[in-house]
Amino acid sequence: MSLIPIILCGGVGSRLWPVSRELHPKPFIRLSDGRSLLQKAFLRAASLPDVKEILTVTNRELFFKAEDEFREINTDRIGTSFICEPFGRNTAAAIAAAVSRVAETSGADTLMLVLAADHLVADELAFAKAVDEAAKLADGGKIVTFGIRPETPETGYGYIEADGNTVLRFIEKPPLEKAREYVASEGFYWNSGMFCFTVAAMLREMKQHCPDILDAVSSCMRESRISNGEGWTQVQLDPKTFGAVREDSIDYAVMEKSGNVSVVPCSIGWSDIGSWTAVSELSKPDSHGNRIEGEALLHDVDNCYLMSRDRIIGAVGVENLIVIDTPDALLVAKRERAQEVRHIYAQLKASGHEAHKVHRTVHRPWGTYTVLEEAPGFKIKRIEVKPGASLSLQMHHHRSEHWIVVSGMAKVVNGDREFFVARNESTYIPAGHKHRLENPGVVDLVMIEVQSGEYLGEDDIVRFEDVYGRA
Task: Give the count of domains, the chain.
Answer: 3
At 173-213, the pLDDT tens digits run 999 999 999 999 889 999 999 999 999 999 999 999 999 99
Residue range 354-373: mean pLDDT, rounded: 93
- pLDDT, position 385: 97
Global confidence as pTM: 0.91
Report the pLDDT value the prediction gives residue 32, as an integer from 0 to 100.
Answer: 85
Check pLDDT > 70 for residue 137: yes
For residues 435-446, give the mean pLDDT.
97
Last residue of a domain, one of 271, 292, 315: 271
The mean per-residue pLDDT over the stretch 76-84 comes to: 95
In this model, does residue 237 exceed pLDDT 90? yes
pLDDT digits (tens, 9 = 90+) for 257-302: 999 999 999 999 999 998 999 999 999 999 999 999 999 999 999 9
pLDDT reported for residue 345: 97
User: 196 and 209: one domain?
Assistant: yes
Residue 1 has pLDDT above 70, yes or no: no
For residues 234 and 314, membership in a common domain is answered with no
Q: Is residue 206 assigned to a domain?
A: yes
**471 part of a folded domain:** no
The predicted structure's pLDDT at residue 456: 94
Whether residues 20 and 146 share a domain: the answer is yes
What is the rounded average pLDDT of the residues 58-74? 94
**Are residues 104 and 252 located together in one domain of the fold?**
yes
- Mean pLDDT for the stretch of residues 432-454: 97
- Residue 423: what pLDDT? 96
Same-domain status, 263 and 296: no
Residue 42: pLDDT over 90 = yes
61 plus 100 within the same structural domain: yes
Percent of the chain with pLDDT over 70: 100
pLDDT higher than 80, residue 69: yes
- In which band, very low, low, confident or very high, does the pLDDT at 231 lie, cut at 50, 70 and 90? confident
Choose one of 349, 381, 401: the last residue of a domain.
349
Segment 129-158 shows an average pLDDT of: 95
Is the domain of 148 the same as that of 233?
A: yes
pLDDT of 388 reads 95
Q: Kindly state whether residues 92 and 179 are assigned to the same domain.
A: yes
Q: Tell me, what's the pLDDT at 357? A: 93
pLDDT digits (tens, 9 = 90+) for 149-171: 998 998 889 999 999 999 999 99
Residues 305 and 259 in one domain: no
Q: Which of 271, 294, 316 corresponds to the end of one domain?
A: 271
Percentage, residues of the chain above pLDDT 90: 91
The 10s digit of each residue's pLDDT in 370-426 is: 999 999 999 999 999 999 999 999 999 999 999 999 999 999 999 999 999 999 999
Write the CATH number for 434.
2.60.120.10
Residue 118 in any domain: the answer is yes
Cβ atoms within 10 Å of 149's Cβ, excluding its own: 14
- The answer, yes or no, to whether residue 470 has pLDDT greater than 90, is no
151 and 106 in one domain? Answer: yes
The answer to whether residue 29 scores a pLDDT higher than 90 is: yes
pLDDT higher than 80, residue 63:
yes
Q: What's the domain range around 92? A: 3-271
| 95 lies in the same domain as 225 | yes
Mean pLDDT, the chain, as a whole number? Answer: 95
Confidence at 352, pLDDT banded by 50, 70, 90: very high
Q: Are residues 113 and 239 in the same domain?
A: yes
- For residue 173, being part of any structural domain is answered with yes
> Is residue 385 domain-resident?
yes
The pLDDT assigned to 13 comes to 83
Question: Does residue 389 fall inside a structural domain?
Answer: yes
